[in-house]
Structure 1
Amino acid sequence: MIFTCEKQKILEGISIVQKAITGKSTMPILEGIYIKAKGSTLTLIASDMDVSIQTLVDATVIEEGSIVIDAKIFGEIIRKLPNSSIKIEIIENQLLKITCEKSVFDVVYMNSNEFPELPQINEQLKISVNQNILKNMIKGTSFAIAQEETRPILQGILFEVQNKTLNLVALDGYRLAIKSEFLDNDMDIDVVIPGKTLIEVSKILEDIDEIVDITFTNNHILFNLEKTKIISRLLEGKFINYNSLLPQEHKLFVNVNRQELQNAIERASLMAKDGNTNLIRLDIQQDNLIITSNSQLGKVREEISIKLQGEGIQIAFNSKYLLDVLKNMEQNEVVMKMTSGISPCVIEEENNENAKYLVLPVRLMR
């Protein structure tokens, strides 16, 4: 195998596929990047058996072949080489020679035959979504994935297509995040994708109108971008019926400026850091929302203007959960919908039904 390639191109390919390497595998071959040189293209693949990423890189191939090389050392070598053309060739004794200007490395490589093959996925049955839309949907839900491993299904994001709508849903027992988009497709899909996979997918997706094709099997999902494919195992099990968690009626509606509310909660939470509850109290009155927090560190009082429909109440929250929601909303005006001081709070953007968030309150000791 002999090829030359521009540093920036191969470095970009390495950084894409490296996202599949967790460093937790017991198989040394999975610490490496599979490189195949054929025609005028390099195929780079990395996998941890749960997630596999393949990307294509333009190169000048002098002699075709394939190898596996340790991802960490290969990535660091390429990163530190001059911004110039790099020549890579197999020499004797399982060594790979990397030459760039006056730098020469001889690096041990592994046998490519030992690298696991990618799962076969039929790409005829697919849905297509704009990259920027999917990226935004993942960002708007992934913060609500469960961190504890007690309920593995909640460490995933529900990927649901029904009635020409794509829904992404995440919940962790304290909050629920739903993002929806119209999808001109009649397929019915209901799968759960590992949250960590979707977070890595969102890093590869770009803020552009280009399409990403998505294909499913019973066990895997494939995201197909122009030059990059990401294949992930699906989580086994049934996701929680999230619709049953959403209150059907509310007794009060608070219209408030999102940035003002976020800033006030951020300041109030400075005094709420005592312990892990991050407790803040909201006293909802006719024209004002008063936010307070008391702890051993001291106390704070914030007041912001609101529009209230219904009777005022007092309610308490973990400030982190409210901030996670507000930071992931886009519009200036938000609506908080509640019924009592102990029932869930639903937060939506004023004129947007495509994003819905639910946060459970903290019960206050009377």
Structure 2
Amino acid sequence: MIFLCDKTKLQDSISIGQKAITGKTTMPILEGIYIEATQNTVTLIGSDKDVSIETKMEADVLEAGKIVVDAKIFGEIIRKLPNSEVRIETLENNGIQITCEKSVFNLIYMNADEFPSLPNINENMILTVPQSLLKNMIKGTSFAIAQDETRPILQGILFEVKDSYLNLVALDGYRLALRSELVETTNAISAVIPGKTLNEVAKILDDNEDKVNITFTPNHILFNLGQTKVISRLLEGEFIKYNSLLPQEYKLLITVNKQELQNGIERASLMAKEGNSNLIKLDIEEDNMIITSNSQLGKVREEVSINLQGEQVQIAFNSKYLLDVLKNMDQDEVVMELTSSISPCVIKNKESSNCKYLVLPVRLVK
């Protein structure tokens, strides 16, 4: 195998493929990146068996071939080379030579035939969405994925297409995040994708209107971004029926400026670090919300102007959960729906129905 390519393009391609390589494997071959050169195209693949990422780039291929090299050291070498043309060629005795200007590296490679082949997925188009939209939806839900490994299904995000809407849902027992967007499809889909997969997909997606094509099989999902494909296994099991967790009625409705509320909670949370509970108390009055937090460090009082419909109430929350929600909302005004000091709080954008967040309160000891 011999090919010549631009150093920056190669570095970018390695970086994309490496996102699938976790290093937590008993198979040495999976610590490597698969490289195949054919007809002026070089294909790189990284995999941990659960997730595989394939990306292609243009190159001047003088001799076709395929190898697997240790992803970490190969990535480091390419990153530190001058910004110039790189020549990669295989030598005898399982070695490759990497040449760039006056730098020459020799590296051992592994047998490419031992690298696991990608699942064969028939790309009969199921769903096409803009990259920026999907990136935003993942970012707006992935923070609510469960970290607890005892319920593996909650370490994933529900990917649901229903009634021409794409819904992404994550929940961890303390909060729920739901993002919905209209999509052009009549198909119905329900699958649970590992959260770590979607977080890596979000890093590859661009902030533009270019399309990503998504294909499902019973066991896998494929994201096709043109030069790059991400294939992930799906999580097995039934996701919680999230609609039954969202209250249909409420007794108080609070309208508040999102940034003012976020700033007030961020300042109050400085005193709430004690014991990891991040506890803040909200006194909801007619025109104001008083945010307080007391700890051994001291105490804080913040006041935010609100519009309240309904009775006054006192309620407490883990400030981190509220901040995670507010940081992922992009409208100036948000609405909070409450019923009592011990019932869930639902937070939505005032002007659009593209997201719903549910946060459970913390019971206050009287």
Is TM > 0.5 for Structure 1 vs Structure 2? Answer: yes
2:145–2:155 CA contact under 8 A, matched in 1: yes
Partner of 1:193: 193
Partner of 2:65: 65
1:109-148 equivalences under 5 Å are 109-148=109-148
Aligned residues: 366
1:169 aligns with 2:154: no
2:271–2:293 CA contact under 8 A, matched in 1: yes
Unmatched tracts of structure 2, length 5 or more: none
1:238 aligns with 2:238: yes
Amino acid in the other structure paired with 1:332: D
- Single out whichever of 196-205 and 116-125 deviates more from structure 2: 116-125
Deviation, 1:125, is 4.0
2:125–2:213 CA contact under 8 A, matched in 1: no
Alpha-carbon separation, structure 2, partners of 1:122 and 1:360: 42
Alpha-carbon separation, structure 2, partners of 1:213 and 1:125: 7
Q: Deviation per CA, 1:48-101: give whole Å up to 9, x if none.
A: 000000000110000000000000000000000000000000011110000000
Partner of 2:319: 319
Alpha-carbon separation, structure 2, partners of 1:122 and 1:237: 24
Alpha-carbon separation, structure 1, partners of 2:150 and 2:284: 36
Partner of 1:337: 337
Alpha-carbon separation, structure 2, partners of 1:154 and 1:327: 22
Deviation, 1:302, is 0.5
Partner of 2:25: 25
Alpha-carbon separation, structure 2, partners of 1:90 and 1:346: 59
TM-score (norm 2): 1.00
Partner of 1:105: 105
Alpha-carbon separation, structure 1, partners of 2:11 and 2:134: 25
Amino acid in the other structure paired with 1:333: E
Deviation, 1:122, is 1.2
Q: Deviation per CA, 1:212-246: give whole Å up to 9, x if none.
A: 00001111000001100000000000000000000
1:70-109 equivalences under 5 Å are 70-109=70-109
Deviation, 1:193, is 0.1
Q: Deviation per CA, 1:309-355: give whole Å up to 9, x if none.
A: 01110000000000000000000100010000000000001011011
Q: Deviation per CA, 1:160-179: give whole Å up to 9, x if none.
A: 00100000000000000000
2:253–2:310 CA contact under 8 A, matched in 1: yes
Alpha-carbon separation, structure 2, partners of 1:106 and 1:363: 63
Q: What is the SS of the residue equivalent to 1:20? A: coil
Superposition RMSD in Å: 0.5
Q: What is the SS of the residue equivalent to 2:353? A: strand
Amino acid in the other structure paired with 1:93: N
Q: What is the SS of the residue equivalent to 2:354? A: strand
Alpha-carbon separation, structure 1, partners of 2:35 and 2:304: 58
Alpha-carbon separation, structure 1, partners of 2:358 and 2:183: 24
Partner of 1:258: 258
Alpha-carbon separation, structure 1, partners of 2:309 and 2:322: 21
Partner of 1:14: 14
Amino acid in the other structure paired with 1:325: V
Alpha-carbon separation, structure 2, partners of 1:174 and 1:204: 29
Amino acid in the other structure paired with 2:138: I
Alpha-carbon separation, structure 2, partners of 1:164 and 1:333: 27
Alpha-carbon separation, structure 2, partners of 1:104 and 1:122: 42
Partner of 1:34: 34
- Percent sequence identity over aligned pairs: 70
Alpha-carbon separation, structure 2, partners of 1:120 and 1:94: 29
TM-score (norm 1): 1.00
Alpha-carbon separation, structure 1, partners of 2:312 and 2:193: 40
Unmatched tracts of structure 1, length 5 or more: none
Alpha-carbon separation, structure 2, partners of 1:25 and 1:352: 44
Partner of 1:299: 299
Amino acid in the other structure paired with 1:43: T
Amino acid in the other structure paired with 1:302: E
Q: Deviation per CA, 1:143-166: give whole Å up to 9, x if none.
A: 000011011000000000010000
